Amino acid sequence: MTEKRAVPETSQQKKKSENPCPTMICAEDHFSFFIQSGAANLVPPTICFRNQLVLGKAKENSGVGINAAIFNGKTGELIMTGNYDMYAGEVGPLIETLKKTETGSLVLIASFDEPASKLNGEARTLLLDLGSSSAQSLAFRDNWVFVGGKGAAVKSPFEKHIKNDQEKNKYDGWPEVLDLSGCIPQYLG
């Protein structure tokens, strides 16, 4: 597991990297987001929030498995990003992160390569509690993107899941890339 705390970028660093995020305009009390799953085992995922890259290749903070970015749901402040290897790693760090995430936080997730091999019942329940409809059925090499909220009382409308199907996969052993974008309301609790 790799976990990184939010570190502000200098303007020089921003100039050096191109922003792969689409520009989106949302209502004042909403946050824009864009998530793209990884492509096969070659192109890492991307997570953008308020039109800025927070997780992806240019930031060198993504990897195989489940990639997550957690934000304060009231202010939109980035709390942390993390990468949880669900093939060669352990599920414990993901469980700990989800347990210590505060109520009102937004959790954005993008899969890359293999997101499900190590997911156990506890991890799946924690993801379901964030509002996921697909966490229970997530399987080997599926692609998945999701936006959830800690303390959410309803299922999230922001989720896409495509099953690994050898007869339908776009890439040799992996399904096609998924992307998801929209505007998330601020947490008012």
Q: Residue ranges of the domains in the chain?
A: 30-185
**Cα–Cα distance list, 90 to 113, 120, 142, 157, 160 (Å):** 16, 10, 18, 29, 24
Which residues partner with 145 through β-bridges? 110, 160
- pLDDT per residue, tens digit, the chain (189 aa), is 555 555 444 444 444 457 789 999 999 999 999 999 988 778 899 999 999 999 999 999 999 999 999 999 999 999 999 999 999 999 999 999 999 999 999 999 999 999 999 999 999 999 999 999 999 999 999 999 999 999 988 899 999 999 888 788 777 788 888 999 999 999 876
Write down the pTM of the prediction.
Answer: 0.88
- Locate 116 and state its tokens: 């499900």
Instruction: Determine the residue type at 145.
Output: V
Q: How far apart are CA 28 and CA 51, in angstroms?
A: 14
Can you give the three-state secondary structure of 95-125, one letter per residue?
Answer: HHHHHHCCCCEEEEEEEECCCCCCCCHHHHH
From residue 164, alpha-carbon distances to 20, 128, 167 in Å are: 26, 20, 9
